[in-house]
Structure 1
Amino acid sequence: MRYLWTIIWSFLLSFLISYVLSSMGGESLPINQVLIMTVIFAVAIFILGEGALKEETE
């Protein structure tokens, strides 16, 4: 379930960033850019959450 929510939040944040930047530039919203950023954000979160940011146990 956490993977599903990660993908949903990654999509929403990517859409927000892309919408704001394209509106500031006066261009149309590129949905392919949103999907690419979603994949990049989700993969980065999966890697950081599963490996890099784990708490060390003694």
Structure 2
Amino acid sequence: MRFLGVVIWSFILGTLLAYVLTSMSGDVFAFGPVIVLTVAFSIIVTIVGDFIIPPDTHETVE
């Protein structure tokens, strides 16, 4: 479920980024690079979240 959320947010942010950048440069919006950005963002976030950032082992005492 966590990976699905990453893919959905990567798609949304990738679409926004591609739209803004193509609008600023005056080019035509292309959907192909959005898919590439989605895959790249998803892989990077998954690697950072699962392997680079250590899990929080501190427990709160009530």
What TM-score, normalized by structure 1, do the two folds share? 0.90
Deviation at 1:4, TM superposition (A): 0.5
Moved over 2 A (4+): none
Match of 2:16 in 1: 16
Pairwise CA RMSD: 1.4
Rg larger in structure: 2
More helix by share: 1
Q: How many residues align?
A: 58
Alignment gaps of 5+ in structure 1: none
Alignment gaps of 5+ in structure 2: 58-62
Aligned identity (percent) is 39
What TM-score, normalized by structure 2, do the two folds share? 0.85
